[in-house]
A and B are shown apart, each in its own frame.
Chain A
Amino acid sequence: MSLPVSAATHVLVVEDDPHLAAGVMENLRAEGYEVTSAGDGRQALAWLTEHACTLIVLDVMLPGVDGFALCRTLREQGNSTPVLFLTARGDPADRVRGLEAGGDDYLAKPFHLQEFLLRVRAIVRRWEWYRSASATAATAVLRFGGNEVDFRAFRARAWNGESQELTEKEAMILKVLAEHAGQIVSREDLLERVWGYDVFPSTRTVDNFILRLRKRFEKDPANPRHFLTVWGVGYRFLSEGEA
């Protein structure tokens, strides 16, 4: 149906319903993904301590540890594997909870197969882009205004010597901006490159992330020299800093 995905793309499906798990796995396999399944949170955590994967498809209502808690645990352990939540509760409050727990996307049951596959593909693509964009020694590290960002380790040393842990979203935004240094990047472009199309309701989210990046890396966050706002359009990143 679509282009085959790269060979090493491995998806972990954490779902306690055997029919749903089987259906999801068969379809992912048909798309060329390698798939492993786990019936509950404990199994998933055990598998993840020894293996790595490109994406976790995670049911929220699991016996024992629920999906949100599992995702939070992973993030606390420093595991930044993207998570796509599947849940029977599709209300906005629940969506927000999922994203707060560190999820990348959220799909309410019952879902459309094609939409599910598209979303999986979108997340995998975003991460493949991020990984390949940070693959060489030259692209893995960004230096600007006395700051040094290591995209592979999600770590940075700020101009004042403070060491910083970046979230995957912060790192991705920085990566997109750095790739287009000197050019204007719109909020919509940032949303789509980093989150996918319709996960967050507004572009305000992007603004909040830019504020966080300024706090981390600008000498005077109120008068930014690297992360500049282009009113009504978006943002421009300058690695040299504005004179």
Chain B
Amino acid sequence: MKVTRVFQLTTLALVLVSAVQVGWWLLDQHAYTVEKVSAARAAYVAQTAAAQALLDSGSSAQRVQQLLPGIRISAGRAALAPELARSLTTEERRRANQYAWEGGFFLLALALCIAMIARALRAERQVYEEQDSFLALVSHQFKTPLASLQLSLETLALRSPPPPVARTLIDRMLADIARMELMVTQILESARLERGRVDFKSEPLQLAGAVARVVAQLEERSRAERIEFVSDIGPELHIASDALALDVVVRNVLENALAAVRSAGGGSIALSARAANDEVELSVRDSGVGFQPADGARLFEKFTRLHGAGHYGTGLGLFIVHRMMQLGQGRVRAHSEGVGRGACFVLTWPAAQVPRS
């Protein structure tokens, strides 16, 4: 067990014991007061009886009054002085009130402590559970490319294939390694995003330039897969965002579009942008496999993979996009008319004011 957990549990036990102790103390004090007050009452009753007996035996009222100052005598009858009777009742009430307030305050403070500790414990357990399921999923994601790598290597070792076949196996292994590298990057990125440990700057950025840089990096691969990029983004559009975040977001959305188009056996990805209401919208429309409109909400959740067969995704790409857009005051939404009918992703950022130069 972790030290923090031992500490939390010990504190919780202490607080609980204190609460029980305060409760018991309250009851005890109350019982004590009741006992003392009734003992005083009994004593006064005895005094009154004694005074009456003295009067009845012929003692003068004055003498009796001297002996028992708490007794009032009128018309030969002895009775307890009314202010004394009153003060007894007042004292009893005062004490009861004191205990109620003091005890109530203590108990309330302790209850707050218990609630806070219980909440911390619950939150911690949730974190552990999330970490466990995250680890299970991540290790599963890694085992498939690892299995593929091992299979290719063992095939090379077992069969000593001719160079062209060996080349295919080597390409496959390189792709598997690239896949794992992408996974590591995405997992680290999403872990950082989840802990909120990111520092987003907000600087004016030219959208067309940023998108063109990512497209240039992806184009070599996309051409080989018969996927065409068509880009129409006005050079005047500037957004307020973080340069690094913009790069990651655009790259992930385009990677996703590439995978969707690849699964459909080739096609195109069209990029366009427009300014509207102090915002800039970038639309990425692909002719890929699309998705059920009902799946649109699930798309940005962690580990959602809708492309299924033949797709290498980690299920983290769009989750990263969504979180980054959220943290950078932007939005992302996705739309598809159904499986096989392409998809459109729309990214929205606040527009940046750029002085004309």
Contact = CB atoms under 8 A, between A and B. Distances in A.
A88 B145 CA distance: 11
B255 to A, nearest CB: 17
Interface string A16-35: 11111011101100100000
B176 interface: yes
Given A88-B143, A110-B143, A64 B151 contact: no
Contacts of A110: 143, 146-147, 149-151
A40 B289 CA distance: 16
Interface stretch (A111-119, A143-151, A191-199): A111-119
Nearest to A18: B310
A113 B147 contact: no
A82 to B, nearest CB: 21
B75 interface: no
B152 interface: yes
A64 B159 CA distance: 35
Nearest to A107: B147
A17 B148 contact: yes
A20 B159 contact: no
Interface in A97-119: 109-114
B140 A88 contact: yes
A20 B151 contact: yes
Given A20-B144, A109-B144, A40 B149 contact: no
Nearest to B151: A23
A180 interface: no
B309 interface: yes
B173 to A, nearest CB: 9
B209 to A, nearest CB: 35
B155 A19 contact: no
Contact of B310 (A1, A16, A23, A89): A16
Given A113-B151, A113-B155, A64 B308 contact: yes
B335 interface: no
B158 A19 contact: no
A39 to B, nearest CB: 3
A22 B155 contact: no
B127 to A, nearest CB: 23
B154 interface: yes
Given A23-B148, A109-B147, A16 B309 contact: yes
A61 interface: yes
B310 A109 contact: no
B352 to A, nearest CB: 41
B151 A39 contact: no
Contacts of B154: 112-114
Given A109-B146, A112-B154, 12 more contacts: A19-B145, A20-B147, A23-B151, A23-B155, A24-B151, A39-B308, A64-B308, A88-B139, A109-B144, A111-B150, A111-B151, A113-B150
18 contacts: A17-B312, A18-B309, A19-B148, A19-B175, A20-B147, A23-B151, A23-B152, A23-B155, A27-B151, A40-B309, A61-B140, A63-B305, A86-B147, A88-B139, A112-B150, A112-B154, A113-B155, A113-B158
Q: Which 10 A-B pairs have the closest CB atoms?
A: A63-B308, A39-B309, A110-B147, A113-B154, A109-B147, A88-B143, A23-B151, A19-B148, A110-B150, A88-B140
Interface of B: 139-140, 143-152, 154-155, 158-159, 172, 175-176, 305, 308-310, 312
